[in-house]
Amino acid sequence: MSLPRIAVLASGRGSNLQAILDAIDNGQLLAQVVGVFSDKPGCPALGRVDETRRWSLDATQAPSRAAFDDALTHAVAAVNPDWVVCAGFIRILGAGFVSRFADRLINIHPSLLPKYKGLHTHRRALEAGDAEHGASVHWVIPALDAGEVIAQTRIPILPGDTPEILAARLLPYEHRLLVEVLQRASHGQLSPPI
């Protein structure tokens, strides 16, 4: 049986991608990362895999948003993924991309959705006086962080937390959550919403 094929979309340092790669290397996740795709050609995430598995296109240099989405769609489709994982990918995906990969497209987001869609989630949780914070893995739809939640992880907010401290404390839980969801996916235990 061939291993499930994972395509990862990332825009930043790639810590969630590294968690996936580590889980594969230590036998915790039976899958393969077949491509890493980015809208930021210089981002550190791309350096976590060999050149044959990297694709990037500077979204600001694309002739239009639709042109970027088309190029990304073709590039991801070319690696024939079983799962497409948005792991720190900061662009909202267009409807065409989402519909192409709809039943296998997930995102990890650092908040307890539906709270704090978008950016600056740690600061917003602190400003709201929340007692807890966390991360969510959800199905991607053509709206910001709005798809059905698959799983969440929670941590308490502690006295003295800053956005940076909270983010750093959440990160290992975020990594574990993503790997756990991908384990379910690789065993055929993840059903897309109806």
Six-digit token pair at 92? 């909202």
Among this protein's residues, is 109 annotated catalytic?
yes
How far apart CA 62 and CA 65 sit, in angstroms, is: 7
**Do residues 40 and 62 lie in contact, with contact meaning Cβ atoms separated by under 8 Å?**
no
**Active-site annotation holder among 109, 122, 138, 175:** 109
Six-digit token pair at 81? 């993924």
DSSP code of residue 15: H
How far apart CA 181 and CA 192 sit, in angstroms, is: 12
**Do residues 66 and 49 lie in contact, with contact meaning Cβ atoms separated by under 8 Å?**
no
Most distant CA pair in the chain, distance: 50
How far apart CA 138 and CA 23 sit, in angstroms, is: 20
The DSSP secondary structure of 49-106, one letter per residue, reads S-GGGEEE--GGGSSSHHHHHHHHHHHHHHT--SEEEEES--SPPPHHHHHHTGGGEE
Q: Which residues are annotated as catalytic?
A: 109
